[in-house]
Amino acid sequence: MYRVGKEELAEVKKVIDAGKMFMFGDPASGHQQEVARFEREWAEKIGVKHALCVTSGTGALLCSLAALGIGPGDEVIVPSYTFMASAASVLMMGAIPVICDVDETCLMDPEDVERKMGPNVKAIIPVHMVGMPCDMDRIMTIAEKHDVKVIEDSCQCDGGSYKGKRTGSIGHVGAFSFNDYKILSSGEGGAFVTNDENLYQREMIFGDSGASFRAYAKDLTIAPFVGMQLRQTEVHAAILRIQLTRLEGILADLRRIKARIMKELDGAPGIRFIPSNDIEGDCGVVAAFSFDTVEQAIDFAKAEGVGGYRPGVMEKHVYSMWGPILEKRVGHHPDMNPYNNPKNRGLRMDVTRDMLPKSLDILKRTVFVNLHTDWTDEEVAKRIAAFAKAGEQVSATPEPMR
């Protein structure tokens, strides 16, 4: 979360004063229609026909998989660097995640996606990590060629874009998160988006416990089935509608800071920024540096005034640290663990800590520095000076013996 204030409080007060916190209600009785309004506003912002508000980003991923009918017998390609939820949601739906490499962008490597294609792959989940857009052109081309679906995990990229289109609107479905670590926040929250009417209806049914008794049920063209309960509250949506008004300001500030850092350090000794699939669409969540060696990355990250971290050691964000998945401990009941399901026999279930050395090497040679919307120009200048000094120091370090 970057910004929150009295504006959110005022909107929450209206919901409480009306005494209508459930997402459905009659406007004639004072119901504020916050969820319904946010869904329309979010769909418009992202540039899709439909958006549905859910309780979390994980919920939005579950809805995405359910909408696409993914389950036992199916493989879904996920990147080696993402929050564990991207892979965990595939497992919770009974399917098997096949983990692919990232490239120097730290995002899904389209070449490895192509290599990992197979007869059981039903979907690909590109994940736009730390506000950085994936190579969607190549991913969509591969998906079309192999006739598989694309679920964009845009949980860390609320409002980001790729070649002029918002992330989440490019694949068949998209998932967003509004938990407290994300660009917009209502504490917890998420959204599912799609342009497809059928997927929209399936999500609506899955995320609203069958939806069969809702007022809109009469408009559904497919038969309701039993699902989960992932509805969002009016309180959360009231917060999100204000958060949405802050989005462009947050992005403009983060992007301005990132652009200044990259411009002023262009060509500086020891400094190299990771490549981007679309720097204009990048949200500016982090400044991202790449080094030749792991040692240089470690030294740079901890140098005075840098405040960096290496994505390669982020617990739960790199496949090699997804303990429960490595040990195949999934779900609450052994018969619901997809690794035990006979339907998944023959799928690619092996996950070992060292199976993707290229990913581990890249992620350990990369340093991220979180950027903040409230940094003053002086603060940014101080950071730039610290990066420059640290860059000089690491470039002077002799190459380690190999």
Ligand X SMILES: *Cc1c(COP(=O)(O)O)cnc(C)c1O
Among 109, 153, 253, 282, which residue sits at the site for ligand X (rule: CB under 6 A)? Answer: 153
Binding mask 163-202 for ligand X (x = CB under 6 A): --------------x-x----------x------------
Among 38, 42, 81, 83, which residue sits at the site for ligand X (rule: CB under 6 A)? Answer: 83
What's the rounded Cα separation, in Å, for the pair 386 and 15?
Answer: 47
Question: Exposed (0-12), middle (13-18) or buried (19+): which is 259, by Cβ within 10 Å?
Answer: middle
SS3 content of the chain, % helix, strand, coil (to 5): 45, 15, 45
Amino acid at 125: I
Question: Closer to ligand X at the Cβ: 86 or 167?
Answer: 86
User: Taking CB under 6 A as the criterion, which residues in 56-75 touch ligand X?
Assistant: 56-58
What's the rounded Cα separation, in Å, for the pair 169 and 49?
Answer: 9
Question: Closer to ligand X at the Cβ: 54 or 298?
Answer: 54
247 CA to centre of own chain? 16
Question: Closer to ligand X at the Cβ: 169 or 185?
Answer: 185
Instruction: Kindly state whether residue 158 participates in binding ligand X, applying the rule CB under 6 A.
Output: no
| Residue 113, token pair as written in the block | 């996606």
Question: Exposed (0-12), middle (13-18) or buried (19+): which is 157, by Cβ within 10 Å?
Answer: buried
Q: At closest approach, how far in Å is the CB of 346 from ligand X?
A: 28
Q: At closest approach, how far in Å is the CB of 229 from ligand X?
A: 15
C-beta nearest to ligand X: residue: 57
Buried b (16+ CB within 10 A) or exposed e, 49-86: ebbbbbbbbbbbbbbbbbbbebbebbbbbbbbbbbbbb
Q: At closest approach, how far in Å is the CB of 237 from ligand X?
A: 15
What's the rounded Cα separation, in Å, for the pair 63 and 205?
Answer: 9
Tokens 């901890």 sit on residue: 302
Of 299, 300, 217, 147, the C-alpha closest to 287 is 300
Instruction: Kindly state whether residue 106 participates in binding ligand X, applying the rule CB under 6 A.
Output: no
Contact segment (CB under 6 A) with ligand X among 151-159, 199-207, 287-295, 357-365 equals 151-159
Contact segment (CB under 6 A) with ligand X among 63-71, 77-85, 235-243, 334-342 equals 77-85
Question: Closer to ligand X at the Cβ: 92 or 301?
Answer: 92
Supply the Cα-derived Rg of the chain in whole angstroms: 22
Q: At closest approach, how far in Å is the CB of 402 from ligand X?
A: 34
Give φ, ψ of 168 to 5 degrees: 100, -25
Instruction: Kindly state whether residue 85 participates in binding ligand X, applying the rule CB under 6 A.
Output: yes
Contact segment (CB under 6 A) with ligand X among 43-51, 82-90, 191-199, 382-390 equals 82-90
Answer whether 187's CB lies under 8 Å from 194's CB: no
Q: At closest approach, how far in Å is the CB of 397 from ligand X?
A: 33
Q: At closest approach, how far in Å is the CB of 90 from ligand X?
A: 12
Question: Closer to ligand X at the Cβ: 168 or 391?
Answer: 168
Q: At closest approach, how far in Å is the CB of 63 from ligand X?
A: 12
Number of residues near ligand X (by CB under 6 A): 14
Answer whether 108's CB lies under 8 Å from 139's CB: yes
Contacts to ligand X by CB under 6 A: 56-58, 82-83, 85-86, 127, 153, 155-156, 177, 179, 190
